A and B are shown apart, each in its own frame.
Chain A
Amino acid sequence: MDWVQLWEITTLPDNVPIVLLILVIPFYTWYGLRQAFANDRLIDRLEADPEMAKTHHRKTQPWKPGWAREVQVWPYLLRMEFLVAIIVTFILMVWSITLDAPLEEPANPSLTMNPAKAPWYFLGLQEMLVYFDPWMAGVVLPTLILVGLMVIPYMDTNPLGNGYYTYKQRKFAIWAFFFGFIVLWLSMVVIGTFIRGPGWIWFWPGQTWDHNKLIFEANRDLPDMFGITSMLGKSLFGGAVVGLFALVTALGVHKLFTWNAFNRKIYNRMSLIQYVLLQFFLVTMMLLPAKMVARLIFRIKYVWVTPWFNI
């Protein structure tokens, strides 16, 4: 183990925010889920006891009849905002005094940085470049991520869980978001930061970054493994494989989405457009882990080869 190497990556000033992120994301996941489970227990009790449901104030926070349901913004909210502003300023001050912003040598186009890394929050995109061509990883997929995020409210027809933490009432939505945000986006950022070294080669944590290391990866295209040589054959074969993948994934998503009676109820509320959109975005999202497995384990570069684009 080369602890110095790991320490160097971790303490790089621009990487400190990621270390912070690795700490705060699990904390807030726990913090949110804890409230979700508390609400779920309350929901269980209310569902078991219809009389209680009629009279209960339906929150886990304490409430007694006669208490005002609203409080004055001044002072109850403003003092919190003021306090938070002071705390944030203090944290920023300490951070800025103790840690200097990085400044490398002057820009020099003839001296390539190795590894040349994007800012950490874009490392997910840079890591995607390993699995997809730039037009996919750099343009199409980021656009789809943004559009996919924007249409979430219009695809999610589940009316429950509006304005309170819950897991039980929104299992599919929460798993889908966790998968996209934590498993894919954040882990890609972490891989891009901690794992990728010179030449964008995979170095395990604690492995020394060897600037002279060369890996002659025998990357293959899927059609080649089946001995398909003509361009027409490759195009058709690749299209068929991607189509088959989309079909199988869509069926899997459908199976999960209609897992229990409640999920089927929500499914029945969806219009055809809503459901097709949901399937489109989830299947596209699953392209990434599929390509990761294909590339990292089976050394497959392209699945679908055509004269115009490769996937």
Chain B
Amino acid sequence: MADDLKEQKPAGKGVALIDGVLKEVKNLKDKALDDVQSLKKPQKTQLFKSIFRVTHDEKPRNRALGILSNVFLHLHPAKINRDAVAYNYTWGMGGITFYLFIVLTFTGVLLMFYYHPTKVQAFRDILYLEHDVPFGKLLRNMHRWAAHLMIITVWLHMFRVFLTGSYKKPREFNWMVGVILMLLTMLLSFTGYLLPDDQLGFWAVTVGTNMARATPLLGHEGPLGPELGMTAFNDVRFALLGGSIVDSNALLRAYIWHCIAIPLIAGIFMAVHFWRVRKDGGISGPAPVMLESEIKKPRRF
């Protein structure tokens, strides 16, 4: 650019300046056009490439890479049994359960902004949510119904896994993890029941934890409990409630179990559950049927 200006000096300073500016303008225009052109191909931009690494072309390789190079999708294999994508085999219940867990985490975190786990505040917070917080009622309803729905989908998931014999070799261990996850789901729902601090939750939790009095060995009304020195102030029920009655400590404990401890534990078990689904060979079927005549002899030690 600078060399061009020098050569054209004889034509006069003013003309050269104008020529230079025009050139510069044309140059800028070309660059702008280039930018506009690149908008038509966003996949070629540095921004897109840095985020997605692979282009979104309809090529098998790119489709596979799209799954494998995405942290959220990489739990999936790149390819799957052609009959497994139909609804009728899996009923989608495991996936729906996980999705409901995400919905519950999302609505739950939002509810936490408005909730104090104290005897003075808890019930008023629910009233405040229902009557003053924008969409507060919707938020609470959604959390409640998603929780109930999740229990149903967990049971149906277990029902399907049983009917398809998917717990059989090599998935025995993952079935155990699943049973624990079902227990955790029900405990999550149960601990959440107390939090509104209303009559419904209070008496449900009273009834539920009263059973813990009768724990053999560890409850003060259970078989052999008193013989081991259990009283209402040191037994397993006391540990659950943080006291001998359902009161402020019980509310705080339910809150911490519900919002922090059980979700963390469930998260760990979920990670194992999903990981093992992949490591045990992906979802179990629909597998080709086996005939009675093809049973192999069991291995004896």
Residues on A facing B (Cβ under 8 Å):
14, 16-17, 20-21, 24-25, 28-29, 31-33, 35-36, 39, 42-43, 46-47, 53, 57-59, 61, 67-78, 80-81, 84-85, 88-89, 92-93, 95-97, 99-109, 111-113, 116-122, 125-126, 129, 133-135, 137-140, 146, 149-150, 152-154, 156-166, 169-170, 173-174, 177, 181, 262, 265, 269, 308-309
Q: Which parts of B253-301 form the interface with A (CB within 8 Å)?
A: 284-293, 295-296, 298
Residues on B facing A (Cβ under 8 Å):
60, 63-64, 66-67, 73, 76-89, 91-92, 95-96, 99-100, 103, 123, 126-127, 130, 137-138, 140-146, 148-149, 151-152, 155-156, 158-160, 162-169, 171-172, 175-176, 179-180, 183, 186, 189-190, 193, 196-204, 206-208, 210-216, 219, 221-224, 245-246, 284-293, 295-296, 298
**How many CB-defined contacts (below 8 Å) exist between A and B?**
293
Query: Which residues from B are CB-within-8-Å of A181?
Result: 155, 159
Interface of B is mostly: helix
- Find out whether the CB atom of B285 lies under 8 angstroms from the CB atom of A105: no
- Find out whether the CB atom of A24 lies under 8 angstroms from the CB atom of B186: no
What would be 17 A-B contacts, judged by CB atoms less than 8 Å apart?
Answer: A14-B148, A21-B155, A28-B160, A32-B163, A39-B289, A69-B82, A72-B80, A75-B63, A92-B145, A96-B144, A106-B198, A121-B151, A134-B214, A135-B214, A159-B290, A160-B295, A162-B287
Residue of A nearest to B204 (CB): A118
Interface of A is mostly: helix
A14-B148, A17-B152, A88-B103 known; 7 other A-B pairs, CB under 8 Å? A21-B152, A85-B99, A89-B103, A96-B145, A125-B211, A126-B207, A159-B295
Residue of B nearest to A133 (CB): B214
CB distance from A34 to the nearest CB of B (A): 9
Residue of A nearest to B283 (CB): A163
- Find out whether the CB atom of B66 lies under 8 angstroms from the CB atom of A154: no
- Find out whether the CB atom of B292 lies under 8 angstroms from the CB atom of A84: no
Query: Which of B73, B142, B156, B291 is close to A43, meaning CB atoms less than 8 Å apart?
Result: B291
What 9 A-B pairs have minimum CB-CB distances, sorted nearest first? Answer: A138-B211, A163-B287, A163-B285, A58-B288, A134-B214, A153-B172, A107-B202, A96-B141, A101-B144
Query: Which of A76, A101, A104, A122 is close to B80, meaning CB atoms less than 8 Å apart?
Result: A76
- Find out whether the CB atom of A162 lies under 8 angstroms from the CB atom of B291: no
Query: Which of A80, A139, A269 is close to B216, meaning CB atoms less than 8 Å apart?
Result: A139
- Find out whether the CB atom of A109 lies under 8 angstroms from the CB atom of B246: yes
Residue of A nearest to B216 (CB): A135
